[in-house]
Structure 1
């Protein structure tokens, strides 16, 4: 399906929708007064652990996804900081919903042409993977019924929610997972589209449009991990699959394209399994087959009092190893489910003998589970409890392979493929939050922000920036800073060049330009505006400040001797240059300008702007001709 065109997707009945999750750049977190700045794990000042388990909804139901998560017994360790409060540790009820976050969300609603709700109620969404200390995520519906435009038609916006960001996963531990609480509680908007997307290209275009609208507010966080895209995909004969955690917009079309290809491949496998009359047997302990094995993985499990559990897959031969996505096979899907239950993975007879498993062992394995030459066998080698859980999961996934495409939640891989995560969540995971009072959104005082596309046009017409630079500035992370310094009288062309070119060049030269504060950049540009720093020396001063962050721009200017020459000094230097070249000036007149300009700039040693020197030189030549 990689090369399929739009007509192919229409014939397959492709339907897709997006969920965009974007962190807001507010002063405080959503339900407490803690700051939203990110911290390094090494800065943590305390740690605590929790165990989480699913609870029943108001109707007495338990969400299937949460139930599967709870079957894996894990300890969750949390890194806390000097800014961590009792709300973040779940030792105190949440405070009221943050007003700033609500106002930004209402701005986004206007840009999406969405209708705010009359009253917003906070809900609890059950999450027991450790990403929230409370075992649930708080979320509130703010607006509905919006719409964006794409070249392939409108895409509806079903809902706009304001919710708290989860904790940051740091690493797996021997007992479970370690999380960092610096991210927990940062305000996050979730935008869900209608299933109006019918091609990979339209999915990418819709995501780019929503991303542009979000950045137009100037109040969203930027950088890796601050925006995530989930994609829901199905085809007519397939099933709805939610793919989570797409980090880059550029990956969305590939992800949709490859998911369609995966579902088509699974349907083809299901059809062939049906024709063969395939079935799945009961798991069997096959440890005796490998009593003298040379396989390190299997031998290691058995030496630790583990087991080798096997499941016969009747009439599956050749299909377990069939590729359904690049470098991923049906057996990889089975392995994903085994890993989900704690195992390292599986072996199967479509790939054996290999991995030090001999042909004789494969034959003995087939005999031990009653598998013939048309059958396949999958095995898991691990501690006994893990191996039993994992092989049951493999058997269950093999059963669904006979049926077709299972509904599930999958994780996006960097190469555009995806892996199994858990079942799709259901309505049982949501119930009201009783500790936070409802709010009544008031959009009347919220101004609609200027779109980034409009900014690009304005920067060209108002500031005379070329189209490329205007787009760089408008879509760049320092757009608010650009607008601030320009409003303070800094030359727009200088400001744009410094923010979008000079800082990038400094980073390429291994200068830690990312450590420069906004105040340092503003102060440096103000010195250039006031004539105290030549424009050509702005980069030099910023380089000094990046390496010596304790200095102010004024202190660095004085220490490095980067101050500009006064107007009198410039004119005196220009007169001397013209005097030395008086004969040339008399003969050539203004034609001598180019040669003398370089000499004048050299005489001043870069301590004067070219425009100032140029003006003085022209005037001096004119006086002598």
Structure 2
């Protein structure tokens, strides 16, 4: 069934969002290190950690942490000249950053939330290596808010202020390489209630929250600075948390595909139950493939590995059944096998293929006792890996008999998802004893102007047209625009440069990301003061982008746009008119248009168009 054919109301779709947004503060949440992202080659040292789960105050182990711990991995971290002992987990954290707390309270106000009387820091157990300590520090700051969508209100259950995880740099056979530059950046997590009942409403709610966050002017922008987790379930399915959605535009498609997956899994479970399906015991079938032509299986065996199989009775045709675009039930099995180090699985719904012959398939079925209505899944890998992986496949196949498992899944670029781990539980949280409680005072924090309100103000008070006003208000340089107009720079000039000019330069291959706010403000001041012609803007900005250490004035010199006075401008224009004296005599002022282009080309941005136009008209008038 196409996702567009689903009746979400009758399926009982319920969804909720968790929005994670980095704050653009000067320092990190629990130390004084800067929040600047570094390049991996800037690292000056590394450190290594091995992480293990710990029990909660009640003596319980979290299921997600326990499964993660079964994968023995080494975690290496890139450290920089700005990395401190708190980030390395060699020193207790400082108090909560006051700037981050203030921004988070602004966000709470925009979400119509009540701020708690006292903030207590908690530790959230995380042993995937993304925190050197093995846990993430988090605080509950706000509760009971609400936003509006075209399909009705969506409640905001909680607002958390927490530290960002380390950036994953590289997956390795022995573990993961992380970078510590991102670890500890202040992050807000906003959780909605399970009030969302359609994919479109999920997208609209995410866009509304995103607009409110950007209205503070104090959140980081760019890829990876905001992530959405989406919780999805249908009436006969189960709650599934989808992690790491970075593009708001894909949220509706992601929900659609998860509904499809759960509906297909429910249907598969019903059919399997009605047919009396079951999962058999795992079997070592290495001997069947001793002379195989399969490169994957042969490669595993040549390294001393094994081939393990599990019979899936009455599963024939279901393992290869599509449950999301280009993903099948067998892909789900494969995800679980990969968690234990296998490269994937083969199954009889797709065999013979990949070098596996029909004779080998027949022998495989015979050895595990599978008939024509049954399926068989196999894993070829190093012996211990093969054994762990086939047990994971067996467990997932048994879950397929029940329907949809509760789990955490990762978002793929195409809107589909993959298995990550079980859903975490309450056993992963316990108090942080190194950071004292804080009593926040929201009355001292002003409520920011909404971006939608800025659009109206930019039109009404600054005279920008609707399109440019919206571009600036929703653009990543909105705070810089506000600084520019507060300093007296012409609003249209500032908006055009920050949105149109920089976009044009980027398309021309100029590295505009190297331009700092000081660069841009300096150039705007020079144009506004008449010291740089608008026509020279692009050349000066391109020069600064190539040589960021220059001042704006030095860039003007390097671009050859300095030192042109009124007399020299008039001399150059008079020379152009003189060279075209015959045309001027014949056409009079009608020659203006063609000569204007020639004058501007010769002056190369050394004078603004208004001045050139005025002088050119005077010089033509003298000769006609």
Normalised by the length of structure 2, the TM-score is: 0.95
Indicate the larger mover: 292-301 or 363-372: 292-301
Distance in 2 between residues matched to 1:603 and 1:419, nearest whole Å: 60
Verify the 8 A CA contact 2:3 2:257 in the aligned structure 1.
no
Distance in 2 between residues matched to 1:107 and 1:618, nearest whole Å: 55
Q: Which runs of 5+ in 1 are unaligned?
A: none
Q: Which residue of 1 aligns with 2:172?
A: 173
Quick check: 1:366 aligned with 2:372? no
Spell out, residue by residue over 1:24-77, the C-alpha distance to the aligned partner (whole angstroms, 9 max, x if none).
Answer: 110000000001101111111111111111111111110000000001111111
Q: Which residue of 1 aligns with 2:188?
A: 189
Where in structure 2 are the equivalents of 1:339-418 lying within 5 Å?
339-418=338-417
Distance in 2 between residues matched to 1:601 and 1:291, nearest whole Å: 79
Q: Which residue of 1 aligns with 2:473?
A: 474
Quick check: 1:4 aligned with 2:14? no
Distance in 1 between residues matched to 2:273 and 2:167, nearest whole Å: 44
Q: Which residue of 2 aligns with 1:525?
A: 524
Spell out, residue by residue over 1:464-500, the C-alpha distance to the aligned partner (whole angstroms, 9 max, x if none).
Answer: 2222221111111111111212222222222222211
Q: Which residue of 1 aligns with 2:552?
A: 553
Where in structure 2 are the equivalents of 1:259-278 lying within 5 Å?
259-278=258-277
1:584 offset after TM fit, Å? 10
Distance in 1 between residues matched to 2:236 and 2:86, nearest whole Å: 46
Residues 282 and 525 of structure 1, relative CA distance in 2, 3 Å threshold: same
Q: Which runs of 5+ in 2 are unaligned?
A: none
1:174 offset after TM fit, Å? 2.5
1:549 offset after TM fit, Å? 2.0
Where in structure 2 are the equivalents of 1:140-539 lying within 5 Å?
140-539=139-538
Spell out, residue by residue over 1:523-573, the C-alpha distance to the aligned partner (whole angstroms, 9 max, x if none).
Answer: 111111111110010110111111122221111212332137445555677
Spell out, residue by residue over 1:90-123, the C-alpha distance to the aligned partner (whole angstroms, 9 max, x if none).
Answer: 1111110000000000000011011100001100
Verify the 8 A CA contact 2:543 2:558 in the aligned structure 1.
no
1:2 offset after TM fit, Å? 4.2
Distance in 2 between residues matched to 1:556 and 1:29, nearest whole Å: 34
**Secondary structure, aligned partner of 2:4:** coil
Report the RMSD for the aligned CA atoms in angstroms: 2.3
Residues 593 and 429 of structure 1, relative CA distance in 2, 3 Å threshold: same
**Secondary structure, aligned partner of 1:563:** coil
Verify the 8 A CA contact 1:120 1:441 in the aligned structure 2.
yes
Indicate the larger mover: 570-579 or 530-539: 570-579
Verify the 8 A CA contact 2:142 2:159 in the aligned structure 1.
yes
Indicate the larger mover: 301-310 or 62-71: 301-310
Q: Which residue of 2 aligns with 1:117?
A: 116
Spell out, residue by residue over 1:256-310, the C-alpha distance to the aligned partner (whole angstroms, 9 max, x if none).
Answer: 0000000111111011101110000111111111122121211222222221111
Distance in 2 between residues matched to 1:587 and 1:514, nearest whole Å: 50
**Secondary structure, aligned partner of 1:403:** coil
Q: Which residue of 2 aligns with 1:102?
A: 101
Verify the 8 A CA contact 2:23 2:219 in the aligned structure 1.
yes
Indicate the larger mover: 383-392 or 501-510: 501-510
Q: Which residue of 1 aligns with 2:55?
A: 56
Residues 132 and 601 of structure 1, relative CA distance in 2, 3 Å threshold: closer
Residues 71 and 599 of structure 1, relative CA distance in 2, 3 Å threshold: closer
Residues 159 and 2 of structure 1, relative CA distance in 2, 3 Å threshold: farther
**Secondary structure, aligned partner of 1:273:** helix
Q: Which residue of 2 aligns with 1:79?
A: 78
Indicate the larger mover: 217-226 or 568-577: 568-577
Verify the 8 A CA contact 1:29 1:35 in the aligned structure 2.
yes
Distance in 1 between residues matched to 2:490 and 2:620, nearest whole Å: 28
Verify the 8 A CA contact 2:561 2:604 in the aligned structure 1.
no
Distance in 2 between residues matched to 1:281 and 1:354, nearest whole Å: 24
**Secondary structure, aligned partner of 2:395:** helix
Verify the 8 A CA contact 2:136 2:165 in the aligned structure 1.
yes
Verify the 8 A CA contact 1:531 1:564 in the aligned structure 2.
no
Distance in 2 between residues matched to 1:568 and 1:340, nearest whole Å: 75
Verify the 8 A CA contact 1:2 1:258 in the aligned structure 2.
no
Indicate the larger mover: 610-619 or 585-594: 585-594
Quick check: 1:41 aligned with 2:40? yes
Distance in 1 between residues matched to 2:250 and 2:352, nearest whole Å: 36
Distance in 2 between residues matched to 1:448 and 1:245, nearest whole Å: 29
Verify the 8 A CA contact 1:290 1:298 in the aligned structure 2.
yes
Verify the 8 A CA contact 1:343 1:382 in the aligned structure 2.
yes
Distance in 2 between residues matched to 1:570 and 1:214, nearest whole Å: 49
**Secondary structure, aligned partner of 1:481:** helix
Residues 593 and 291 of structure 1, relative CA distance in 2, 3 Å threshold: closer
Residues 131 and 579 of structure 1, relative CA distance in 2, 3 Å threshold: closer
Verify the 8 A CA contact 1:116 1:443 in the aligned structure 2.
yes
Normalised by the length of structure 1, the TM-score is: 0.95
Distance in 2 between residues matched to 1:572 and 1:419, nearest whole Å: 70
